[in-house]
Every structure is written in structure tokens, then in C-alpha cells.
Chain A
Amino acid sequence: MYAGRYWSASITRLYNGSMNAGMKFTLGAVLIVGAVGYLMATGVKQTGQYFLTPSELSQKLAADPTFYDVGMRVGARVVPGSVSRDVAHQTLAFRVTDGSASYPVVYRGIAPDTFNDSVEVVVEGRIQHDGVIHATDVLAKCGSRYESVPKA
């Protein structure tokens, strides 16, 4: 009751212009900030992804079997010699590891120029029940965009 009366009084004041401009601006600012916060939070829910190493991924899978088929990104190193390319079908298969855990990856699409068999990669996709990461995107990284890739 009281809250309702308070709000209707505020709205009347706002409408009649008896609320000063500073307060109105604050109200507008709060609305904008609130909207931004809301957008960010829903955005994270819709498009945010876990960023895991292979060992973190295996821990997650052990702790929570529903983690299969969840969108995520895995940062790891390509296992040297594990890369097989099928250019005609644009398919790339390789293994990634962080030294302890290791997973096979299958990617259909065009691999970046910087991809080779000893590079650091970020694999984006889902791990399925067959234990294979089905990637929707593969990013090959070097220390910095401006630095050449160090020769192994």
C-alpha cells in the first residue's frame, strides 16, 4: 500500500516536473546502467563459454557427466605428429594435450594459416560421448600477434 502510494507520488512528481533535473538524470543513468548490467548478464548466459585445459576438462567430466555437449573452449598444445588433414573434405583431425590429459579433436572447416603440429591452439566446440571434441572453430595462437612464431 505505502510502497504503491510512494511510487505513484514519484511518478506524478516526475510527470509534473517537480523532480529536479539532477534526480531525473540519476534515474536515467540508473536505468541505463541497469540495462547494461542486464544485457551483460543475459549475454554471458547465452554466449559465455568455459575456457578449460584438457586436465580441467577431464576433472569436469568426472565430476559432472552432464558436461558432455556443453559449448566450451579448450586451450592446449597440438600433439606433434597427430595432425591428419583431408583437404578435399576440409576436415582436420588432431590431438591436443597440456602434458597430462589429452583429447582427440575433429574440425570441419578451414584451418588458420598459423596452424601446424606444434602450435598452441584454442579449440571451440563440444565434447561428445565418444570422447572426441567436435570443434566449430580452431584458433592457432602465437605469443603475440606481432611476434613471429618461435621455431621449435
Chain B
Amino acid sequence: MTLLGNLALWVAFLLGAWGALTGFLGAARGRADLIASSRQAVYALCGVLLVAVVSLEVALFRHDFNVEYVAAYTSRNLPIFYTWSALYAGQKGSLLFWATVLSLFGALAQALTAPRHRVYLPYVGAITCLVCAFFVSVMVVEPITHANPFERLAYTPVDGNGLNPQLQNPGMVFHPPMLYLGYISITIPFAFAMAALLSKRLDADWLVAIRKWTLLSWLFLSIGICLGMWWAYVELGWGGYWAWDPVENASFLPWLTMTAFLHSVMIQEKRGMLKKWNLALIIGSWLLSIFGTFITRSGVIASVHSFTQSKVGWLFGGFLLIAAGGSCLLYFIRLPLLNAEARLESMVSREASFLFNNLLLVGIAAVVLLGTLLPILTEWLVGTKYTVKAPWFNFVNIPLGLLLLAFTGIGPLIAWRRASVPNLKRQFAAPVAAGLVTTLAILAAGMRDPYPVIAIGLAGFVLTTIVQEFWRGVAARHRQYGEGWLLALGRLIARNRRRYGGYVVHFGILILFIAFAGYAFKTETEATLRPGESASIKSPYGWTYTFTHLGISQYTALNRQVTAATVDVSRDGKRVGLLTTEKRQHVDAEGNPTFQPSTEVGIKSDAREDLYVVLAGVVNGSEQAVYRFTINPLVWWVWYGGMIVALGGLIVMWPGGGSVSVRRAQAGYGVKLVAKNG
């Protein structure tokens, strides 16, 4: 199978190069035959790379340990579920995964683009082919990069290394591909942007063509980031879900710029402004996604200087520089064609509030990027590495995030062009009152930390704006068409998916902000306990939790030896239940230990707080256990907030928006609403 795989990679490389060449030439010279050939190359590339993926999976499932990749990431006793996911567990496999998914997206773009946007396709195909060819070339120049997943060993090991136990978690099976899908799918909007620049068709048309693609990659990134937080929380055992680690930051950066784009694109559609800005955001998002791949793969930033530096990282660095140089050059050449059709009329307008929203999102992205690169920058500039960690990122980003939360409430409600005083009163009287009441209520409840108080007060404000919007829309339909309340709600959302789906996303975001505010009240304690002894910790809600150590049990499971410690939990003297936390020593088929031991956290979760118990160690030869007990308020809401964000994204994404007649009726309805509401 490796012969077939290798062959497929080489053919893919040639096809990619051919598709890029014919695509660029055909589009520039207007040669229909070359364009057709390039298009066929895109499809063929996708087919050939799928063959490569299948051959790698076959090697994985056959336990062909003569293949280096199979030996490095799987073992005979690895569960099937994780054998499949070993495809993207290592660098080589994830390169193949990247290239294949990109070619798949490229083929989908060729097949699904609406006829009126087909003018962009030759350049789009050429650019996807070019990027794909780069990824494949990293694999095929084996002697330099050692990145070919089909490389064979000189001998055949009896068993493989097995998969890192920290990756043997359901979250880890879905988290990397989701994030990769997000990173990769940004290539399509980028390709359209380049196509628009190359062909000088810079009206709003290309934006319409990529609308779904930008949403898709934003959705994948959002889901991928949430799954990553969940994985970090349940698997890494340090008690949190976000540490501003460079790898996390790398996924957050394109998410921020894509979010900015999804907002600012509305300004261009409505008012013909921000053309330069939108193009820059798309180009920047794509470069950041490649940058993300670069830093997760090279170890340049996360690492101490002496870490082994993979050559793959430097290839990516070079590619990043060339791509950045090329796309920026093209962008600057075309700048004169990108003049705005309107000017900002008033600071009190939707345009202005969206501008500030964009400024904040990009500002946060700049802060995160700078913080991530600080060790490298300071080493260049002053010769000593200087680093910042989570406290710095929180210090800078929390005020910016809260300001952004305020704009989440303001932006969607304020009038276009210039808001009048009656408009402001009508839209914001109730929300501002609700925000103030919420703030006073939590102050009265005894909460004093400024940031959480502000966050929850703002959340009250934003929530009221969303409820008010839904209420007004539903009430209008109810009055106008006599629809029942539920039907009116359903139709309201179905006929204005972008608007109301957007509100659902905002609702999810505000839940996330409340959940993040809860993180400020995290409390923890460490204790060494003999069986029967207990430790107590006070919850921020005023309860006292008591954890009683019951004992240690040791047993062998599927591919690991488990040391489990169990505590009995009670709240204010009332029994709540048992919690078990484990240390796992993974073993190979002969029972020899592989990898370091890993920790399995015991978590009891409800809407108010999580109890989070970690077994830190067992005193040799005794049943004395070292525990860390953590109380994490509101963590539950992070996962549900994330799901609501994804749901909102799906509502916006859902295909079809009704027929033309429906859209017309809707436009009329919009006018009526405006007329009625003034």
C-alpha cells in the first residue's frame, strides 16, 4: 500500500503544479482549453489524495509496523477508534490530511459555485492547486523533510509505540480535524480574494460568492476551539480550559479576524465601504491560519531554543513569507481600484459601531499575536528572551473583551448612517435599564470584583437587546399574519436566518462571557490524605465541600494499568456522591509501560459549579494519596455557550433562504416593520 500511497503523492504533486500553471495561464490569456484542463486537475488532485489517505488508513488498520508512521503512532492494543484518528495524530499524517481536505474543498468550490460567480473559478482553482502542491511537496521531498507518511523502516518492529495517552480522548479525535477544517477552508475565501484582485473584478460580487465559505471556516474554527478547551479541561488536569498557550493562540487568531470580517462585510454589502479592509482581513486570516500550522508544527515559539527544530517548520516559514509577500504586493498594486463608495456620516451609527467592533477584534488579535511572538521579538531586538503568560493576556484582553461585549449589544440595534435620538431611546431604553438593574442586583448580592460585575451587567444589557429584537419580530408577525407565537418565531428565524442566527451567536457569546467571569472565582486546595481523612474547601456560593478519601484501587484495563482513588463528596454535611480520579500507565501488548503516566480527572458538573478532583500521586506502598481539589464555577456554561454559538452559525449557514418571491415579501415586511416602528 505504501507504493500506491507514494505514487499517489507524486501524481498529486504533478497535478497540483499542472493545475496551478494552466489555471493562471488560462485565466490570464482567456484560453478555455487551459481553464478546462486546470479544472479537471482540481478534481483529479482530490481523487488522487483520497487514494493516498485510504492507503495510509489501510496501513494503520493492518498494523503494518514496517511503515514508520504506523509504528510511531499506533500499537496492536490501540482501540480502533483511535487507530483511525492516528491519521492526524502526527506531523506527517496531518500534512496529508491538510492537503487532502484542501483539495476536497477546492473541488467543492469548483462544483458548487453559482454560475454567476464562475468567472473567478480559474484563478481559485489555480490557487488551491498551488497551495495543495506546496503541502504535497513537503511530503514528497522526503530526504530533506522526513515528512513522508509512507516512509518505511529498515526493519519491522513487533509492535508500535502507541498513541500518546493524552490523545486517547474523544475530544482529541474531533478537535484537531475540526480546527484543521477551519484553517484549511479559509484557503477558499483567500483564493476568491486573490481571484478578484487578479481579475480586477472587485465589486461586491466576490464577497457574495465566499459568504458561505467564510461562515463555514468560522464555524469549524469555533467548534474546534471549543472542543480544544474541553479536551484541555478534562484531559490535562490543570483545572482550566484556556492558558494562552501559543498553540491555542494560533487557533484564536484567525477566529478573531474571521469574526471581524463577518461583521465588516455587512458594511461593504450595504454601504460600499471598507473594501480594502475586508480584503486585508481575508488575506490576513489565511496567513494567520498558515502561521497557526507553522507554529504548531515547527516548535519555534513554544519551545526552549534547544528543542529539535523540524525542517518542516522552516519550509512553512518560507512558504508563509512568500505567500505574505506575494499577496500583499498584489493587494497594494490593486489598492487604487478599492475606493469606498460612501463615507462615514456619524459616530452614532451602525457603521461606526461595526468599525469599533472590528478595531477591537483586530486589536485583540494584534495583542495575542504580539504576546505570542514576544520571546522571538525580544531576542532579536535586545538579545534576551522576555515572555508573557496568561496574566498578561488577561490583563490586556479582558477590558477589550468587555468593550467588545458592549458593542455586541449596540451594533445590531443602532440605525444605519445616523441614529436619531428617538431611535436610540426606542432601541436602548429597556436594555440599558436592564443592564443597570442586573449590575445593582449582583452588587447587592455581594459580588465586588469589578470585571465580573461589569461582565454580568453588560450581559444583562446584551441579553435584553436580543430578547427585544426577537419579541418585536415575533409580535409583528403575530399581528400582521395572525400566526401563532411559536410559528411566528420559527418563520421569523427561517426567513431572516442571517439576522436571527446572528443573534443566537451573540446569545452564545454572552453566555461564554458569563462563564469566563465565573473563572475569576475558581478556588482550589491540595491535600495529602490517608483513607478516612478528609479535606474541605469553601465554594464561592458559600457552601463548604468536604472530600473524604476512601482508598486506592489498582487494576488492569484494555491497554493500561490504572491506579484509581475515590473520594466521597459532601456539601454542608449532605452527601453528594463519589468522585474517582485515576493515574493511568499505558502499556504495550507485552505489558511494558509506554509513555509517562497520565491523569484522568474526576469531574462533577452542574449549572452552578464543577468539582474537579485530580490524583497527583500515591505515597509509595501506602494508600495515602495526594489530591488537588478545585471548584470551578460556571464551567458548564462554556460548553453550552459554545454549542449555542455553533447552533447560531448553523442557522446562518443553512442552505436556501426562500425563493425570490419570499425574499420580496420579506423586503416588504421589513419596510412595514420600519414604518410601524419609526
Contact = CB atoms under 8 A, between A and B. Distances in A.
Contact of A43 (B396, B599, B617, B618): B396
A122 B304 contact: yes
A149 B595 contact: yes
Contact of B367 (A36, A89, A143): A36
A141 B624 contact: no
B385 A25 contact: no
Contact of B89 (A35, A73, A122, A146): A146
B235 to A, nearest CB: 10
Given A21-B352, A141-B302, A146-B167, A39 B399 contact: yes
Contacts of A42: 395
Interface in A98-152: 98, 109-110, 112-116, 120, 122, 141, 143-149, 151
B308 A143 contact: yes
Contacts of A146: 89-91, 94, 164, 167, 176, 296
On chain A, which size bracket covers the interface? Answer: 35 or more
Contacts of A122: 304
A110 B616 contact: yes
Contacts of B73: 148
B626 A87 contact: yes
A79 interface: no
A53 B374 CA distance: 17
Nearest to A39: B396
A39 B616 CA distance: 37
Nearest to A51: B385
B486 to A, nearest CB: 42
A29 B618 CA distance: 56
B304 A76 contact: yes
Contacts of B94: 146
Interface string B158-176: 0001111011000000001
A88 B392 contact: no
B9 to A, nearest CB: 21
A77 to B, nearest CB: 7
B352 A25 contact: yes
A48 interface: yes
Contacts of A39: 395-396, 399-400
A47 B392 CA distance: 6
A138 B344 CA distance: 52
Given A110-B614, A116-B596, A50 B626 contact: no
B111 interface: no
A21 B363 contact: no
Contacts of B395: 39, 42-43, 46-47
Contacts of A35: 399
A29 B344 CA distance: 14
Interface string A48-90: 1111110010000000000000000101110000000101111
A22 interface: yes
A122 B306 CA distance: 12
A70 B77 CA distance: 49
Contact of A113 (B72, B237, B396): B237
A40 interface: yes
Nearest to B237: A113
B664 interface: no
On chain B, which size bracket covers the interface? Answer: 35 or more
A29 B89 CA distance: 43
A3 interface: no
Interface in B592-647: 595-599, 614, 616-620, 624, 626, 628
B386 interface: yes
B624 A113 contact: no
A21 B343 contact: yes
A50 B388 CA distance: 9
Given A141-B307, A144-B297, A48 B388 contact: yes
A143 B384 contact: no
Interface stretch (B354-362, B422-430, B475-483): B354-362
A76 B616 CA distance: 24
A120 B363 contact: no
B386 A109 contact: no
A11 interface: no
A111 B163 CA distance: 22
Contacts of B176: 146
Nearest to B243: A139
Given A39-B395, A110-B626, A146-B167, A75 B595 contact: no
A28 B307 contact: no
A106 B347 CA distance: 57
Contact of A47 (B302, B391, B598): B391
Given A110-B626, A114-B596, A143-B308, A148 B387 contact: no
A98 B306 contact: yes
B389 interface: yes
Given A52-B384, A88-B626, A90-B528, A75 B72 contact: no
25 contacts: A25-B347, A35-B399, A36-B400, A39-B395, A40-B371, A40-B396, A43-B395, A47-B391, A47-B395, A48-B387, A50-B386, A53-B304, A73-B387, A75-B304, A75-B305, A77-B306, A90-B526, A90-B616, A141-B304, A143-B303, A144-B91, A144-B299, A147-B91, A148-B161, A148-B163
Given A21-B347, A50-B384, A146-B90, 18 more contacts: A24-B347, A25-B352, A25-B355, A32-B356, A43-B388, A44-B386, A49-B387, A49-B388, A110-B526, A112-B238, A114-B596, A143-B307, A143-B310, A144-B296, A146-B167, A146-B176, A147-B90, A148-B72
Interface of A: 21-22, 24-25, 28-29, 32-33, 35-36, 39-40, 42-44, 46-53, 56, 73, 75-77, 85, 87-90, 98, 109-110, 112-116, 120, 122, 141, 143-149, 151
